[in-house]
Amino acid sequence: MTTAQIASIMIVTSGAAHAVVNAILKSGKDKMSSRALMDGFSALILLPFAFVVPLPHAAWGWLVVSGFVHFGYLFCLIRAFENADMTVAYPIARGVAPALAAAGAVFVFGEPITLTTIAGAALVSLGVMTVGLGRHVERRALGWALACGVLIALYTVVDAQGVRAAPTAPSYIVWIYLIDGLVIGAIFALWRGPRFLVAAGREWKAGLIAGAFSIATYGLALWAFRMADTPRLAALRETSILFAVGIAVIFLKERLTAGRIAGIGLIAAGAATLLSAG
C-alpha cells in the first residue's frame, strides 16, 4: 500500500469521525457549552502526551494563526447549527471548503494539483452543496454556514503547512488540541457563565465521547496532510457528509429528499475520482 493510499484511508476515517462529532454538537441543547466540553476533554486527554512529544519549534507561528482561525470557525459553526438543521448547515459549510482550500494550497504554497483531482473535488463540492441546498435556507443560516466554509478552507491550508513544519505529526496534533481545548474551550465556557455549569452537569458524557472522537477526526486528517497533497485530501475529507446525512436521518429524524440522494451520488462519484488520483 502506498503512502497516498494510507493517507486516503486516514482522511476518510477522519471524515466519519467528524460527522459523529458534529451530530453530537447539533443534538446538544446548549451548543456553545457542548463545544467547550468536547474541546476541553480533548485537551485533557492529550495533555499527558505534551510531556512526551517534541516541542513544535518550527510550527509555533502556524499554531497561533490556526488557533485564531479555529475560534472563528467554531463560533460560526455554533451559530449555523443554531439557525438550521444539520443536513442544511453542515453541507453548505463543508461544500465551499474544498475548492477554497485547493486554491489556497496551489496558488499560495505552490502545491501540485492534477485534472483528476480538480474533477473529483468539483464533484464532491457540487454534491455536498446539493445535499445542503435542497430546500429553503434562511439568509442568516446561509451566512453563518458560508463563513464557516471559508474558515474551514483557511485552517485546512494553515494546518497542512504547520504539521509539515513540526518535527513530528504527533507534536503538532497534541499542541493544536491543547491550544483549542484549553484556550477556546475556556473562552466558550466563560462566555456561557453559569449556564455552562448547568450544561456540563447534563451533557458531560456526550462531551467526553465527542472529545475523544474529535482527536480521531482531526488528528488523522493532520497526519494525512503531512503524508500527501492538500487539494486531494481536503476534498476527500468532505465525504464526511455521507456519514453526516446517515446520522441526521437515522438519529436526528431529519428528512432525506430526492435532491439529497442525488447529492450523495455526486459525492460518491467524486470520492471515487479522488481515490483513483491517489
d(CA 236, CA 115): 15
Asked if residues 234 and 7 have their Cβ atoms less than 8 Å apart, the reply is no
Cell of 58: 518550527
Supply the pTM of this predicted model.
0.87
Rounded Cα gap, residues 55 and 79, in angstroms = 34
- What the block records as the C-alpha cell of 241 is 457528509
CA distance readout (Å), 213 to 15, 20, 190, 207, 217: 11, 7, 24, 10, 6
pLDDT at 198: 94
Positions in the chain whose pLDDT score sits under 50? none
pLDDT of residue 22: 76
User: What span, in angstroms and rounded, lies between the C-alpha atoms of 216 and 209?
Assistant: 11
User: What's the confidence (pLDDT) of residue 37?
Assistant: 94
207-241 per-position pLDDT tens digit: 999 999 899 989 999 999 999 999 999 998 888 87
| pLDDT of amino acid 137 | 65
Q: What is the pLDDT of residue 29?
A: 82
pLDDT for res 92:
79
